[in-house]
Amino acid sequence: MFVLKEAGAEAINPNVSLNPTWLCPTANHRDRFLDMQSRLRPARIATMAAVAPLAAAMSPKVGWPLLPAVAGMIAAVLLGGARLNRRARPELWVFASAVLSSQLVIAFAAALGGGPRTMLPCMLALPVLMVGTRFSNRGLIVGAPLSAVLVLTVTLGVDPGYVLDNPESAVIPFALVLWTAMYISALVASDVRHRADSTLDQLTGLLNRRALEPRFLEVAGQAALTGQPVSVMVADIDRFKRINDAHGHVVGDAVLRDVAYALRKSLRTFELLYRLGGEEFLLLLPGASEQDAAAIAESLRAAVESLCPAGLSVTCSFGVATACAGEIRFRGLMEGADSALYAAKRHGRNRVEQHSSQAVAAVA
């Protein structure tokens, strides 16, 4: 039998945003990162255009290390943002360039330029700002402490006597790093919460319909590059209205939660599982062939059948549709999966029906 977890791993092109990392453990985190990366592009361009001439004008007073520091930061930013759509884990690439590279370049220039005797240690707050706007607080956990340690290193470590006589030379850059991290942390936490509220189904914890179409467009784009198929599976709880009518909505909600959990725990990339509304769920399967998708649906059907939520016998019907690269359209796949689901209902429920890829392409 087709193994679900292997299917999730092999079906995804390494460039698809389904490779979780500690920075982006879910699709929501990855979507936020990519969205912020795009939105920050004008700000990055404007900042680089302004910083270069400013550094050149200030270098006679501040010292020559300011120029390589700024040049290194610009190079790190440009390198970090290059060809992200072809990288398996773009957030790690950007994080390394925005935090590690920029921080080390600034610290090196500050140490060469006189440490606490220059304003360069204050620039170590910039990488904290850069990483904080792109990532959740997971990024700040690494970026902010590293900047704080580097501030102390290039001030107390380079010229402790000067710092003792002029404590503000270390206190001010350290405070800038700390304040930047504190404010960005609060803003990012608020943004992540509101984004999650808008794309997560509060009852089941699954992604909702609002999150589906952008994800589908991304998967379809990746499939166009790799030539892999894309399958969609729609599941519907059989006779769910009877459950609500006979046992009440509290029991109905418990059934929905338990069914969602049974579906999700069987999948490696549960972020591709969506609640469309009511008792209907959708699973997006990049790279899964017709046979693979049908096998996944059958194992999910069996998982729900053996569940018995709230002591009730509950089953699901499944409709599966698959399209090949070049024929992948959201409307076509959805209508194909819905048609197959209706066929499963007509043929007795608690079963899996497939819609042919040729029919899906014709609908699209």
The domain locations on the chain are 40-199, 207-363
* Domain made up of 207-363: CATH architecture: 2-Layer Sandwich (3.30)
d(CA 332, CA 337): 9
Cα distances from 304 to residues 16, 18, 134, 152, 247, in angstroms, run 29, 25, 38, 57, 19
What pLDDT is recorded for position 171? Answer: 96
- For residue 360, what pLDDT is reported? 41
Q: Give pTM, 2 decimals.
A: 0.53
- Give the C-alpha separation, 102 to 261, whole Å: 43
pLDDT at 12: 32
DSSP classification of residue 206: -
pLDDT for 20 equals 73
> How far apart (Å, rounded) are the C-alpha atoms in residues 290 and 288?
7
For residue 85, what pLDDT is reported? 63
Which candidate, 90, 89, 92, 148, places its Cα nearest to that of 121? 148
Cα distances (angstroms) measured from residue 294 to each of 56, 74, 321: 63, 50, 9
Place of tokens 């942390």: 185
* The dihedral sign for the CA sequence 255, 294, 363, 361: positive
CA distance 288 to 2: 11
Look-up: residue for tokens 């999910």?
Answer: 300
Tokens of residue 200, six digits? 């997560």
Q: Which portions of the chain are predicted below pLDDT 50? A: 1-18, 270, 358-364
What CA–CA distance (Å, rounded) separates 43 from 46?
Answer: 5
Q: What is residue 363's predicted lDDT score, i.e. its pLDDT? A: 38
How far is C-alpha 53 from the chain's CA centre?
36
E strands present in 144-279? 207-208, 230-237, 273-277
